[in-house]
Structure 1
Amino acid sequence: MANIVITGSTKGIGFGLAKAFLDSGHKVVISGRSEETVRDALDRLQTPACKCCGLACDTSEHTQVEALWQFAQDTFGSVDIWINNAGLARTGWSILDIPQAEIEAMVRTNIVGTINGCRVAAAGMKQQGHGKIFNMLGGGSDGEYFPGMGIYGSSKRSLDYLTNALSSELKGTGILVGKIRPGMVVTEAVIREAKQNPDRFAQSRRFMNNLVDQVDTVAVYLARKMLEFNKTGEKIRWLTGGKIAARMLKGLVRKREDQFARHGL
């Protein structure tokens, strides 16, 4: 049974991961920016058999991340897996047009927040002598370009380097460091952006429908792979190149069930 901390886990893929781990009998600490969102998520996760608790945490504040680690350690005694999942996706603008406030929010959450999580978790795990740290990557992290994602993709690209560097620095310590590429998942952020820009969504809907997946489907796979993970520096990828090619070919002959309709889109 593993003790797991997931940042940014009151919704989206983070919430899905928490549910997947709990359903497998593990213990989970969730976190989000506000006490209200944490309480709401706990209400949705709690069952008589599950062992889950939570703490509000703004990962861009180092002291709050330290408090999250201490909370998990005090509650469960140790932390076996720490997942830096908290992130912001503000897409749809060119690099020149994106509002400055959106740039700063993504940099603080996606980059500074993940750095804080890595530093705090690595320091704690060095003391306990073991542990796994995972960083959630995303579109752009492999260097690929997507229109309207220049800043977001740059923030995720930096996390690829960060994860490689941390993995190298922690070799021989008993701490494993990994990367997570969840693929295209229908999250609250995707739904929000689709409703904000329905014309753009309509243009890409058919193409995206061949590639997107539901949170629960992806989260169960990723949770299992993280538990099995045993080689530092490696990447756990849901949507592989082979899977993309197969889906696109299949889409030419048979229309896939609409993955967005169930979300009111």
Structure 2
Amino acid sequence: MATVVITGSSKGIGFGLGKAFLESGHQVVFCGSSEDSTENARAKLSEQSPQLLDQARFFTCNTTSEDQVQALWELASSAFSRVDIWVNNAGLARTGWSILDIPANEIQRMLDINLRGTINGCRTAARGMQDQGSGKIFNMLGGGSDGEYFPGMGIYGTTKRGLDYFTNALAKELQASGIIVGKIRPGMVVTEAIVREARENPETFARSRKFMNNLVDQVDTVAPFLVQRILDTQKSGQKIAWLNGGKIAGRMLAGLFRKRPDQFLQHGL
């Protein structure tokens, strides 16, 4: 039984990962950036899977604060004796603007959460795992991390590209420590963030809906796959990708012959 800490796990893919780990028999510390979001995660798990609550803990943590991230580590290690897997999932995607048009405060928020927050999580987890003698750290990547360009995602993609480099560097520096460092690319998953962006930019969403519908997936589909791959990973530097090039090509080809059920309807879009 592993103990897993997931930042940004009050909703979306983070919550889905936490629930999938619990269903696989592991212990999970869920983390939200506010007390309300953290309590909402507890309530959601209690409603959906009350039998799993004993394996879970909930903690509020702003990952841009080193002190709060350290407190998260201490709570997890105190509650479950050690931390086996740490997933830096907390992130922010604010898209729909060009690089010149995006508000400065949105740039700062993405830089702080996506980069500084993940760096804080890695440094804290790595130090704790060095004392333990082992552990796994995974960073959540996203669009742009491989250098590809998506309209409206110039700043977000830049943070994820930088995070890819950082993760490679961390894996090199920790290669003799017994700590495994990996990356996760979950693909295009319909989360609260995508729904929010669609409602804020309905015209942009309408133009891309048909194309996106061939590629997006639901959290409950993707999360169990990612969890199993995280558990199976035994080599540092690996990337776990749900939506790879072959799958993308296959779906686009299939879309020419049959229409995929609308993946957005169940989310009120």
TM-score by length of 2: 0.97
Moved over 6 A (4+): none
Letter paired with 2:101: D
Q: Does 1:138 align with 2:129?
A: no
Letter paired with 2:67: T
Q: In structure 2, which of residues 68, 82, 99 is the aligned counterpart of residue 78 of structure 1?
A: 82
Instruction: State the shift of 1:254 in Å.
Output: 0.3
Aligned residue number for residue 48 of structure 1: 51
TM-superposition CA deviations, 1:68-112 (whole Å, max 9, x none): 000000000000000000000000111111000000000000000
| Structure 2 residue runs without a partner (length 5+) | none
Letter paired with 2:63: T
Q: CA RMSD in A?
A: 0.7
Instruction: State the shift of 1:48 in Å.
Output: 2.5
Aligned residue number for residue 149 of structure 1: 153
Letter paired with 1:224: Q
d(CA) in 1 for partners of 2:254, 2:245: 14
Q: Does 1:215 align with 2:219?
A: yes
Letter paired with 1:249: L
Q: Does 1:29 align with 2:26?
A: no
d(CA) in 1 for partners of 2:171, 2:64: 21
d(CA) in 2 for partners of 1:27, 1:111: 27
Letter paired with 1:240: N
Instruction: State the shift of 1:138 in Å.
Output: 0.1
Aligned residue number for residue 243 of structure 1: 247
d(CA) in 1 for partners of 2:139, 2:29: 16
d(CA) in 1 for partners of 2:5, 2:43: 17
Distance 1:49 1:195, change over 3 A: closer
Residue 51 of structure 2 aligns to a residue whose secondary structure is coil
TM-superposition CA deviations, 1:206-256 (whole Å, max 9, x none): 000000000110111001100001110010000010000000000000000
TM-score by length of 1: 0.99
Aligned residue number for residue 19 of structure 1: 19
Identity across the alignment (%): 65
Aligned residue number for residue 254 of structure 1: 258
Instruction: State the shift of 1:49 in Å.
Output: 4.0
Aligned residue number for residue 65 of structure 2: 61
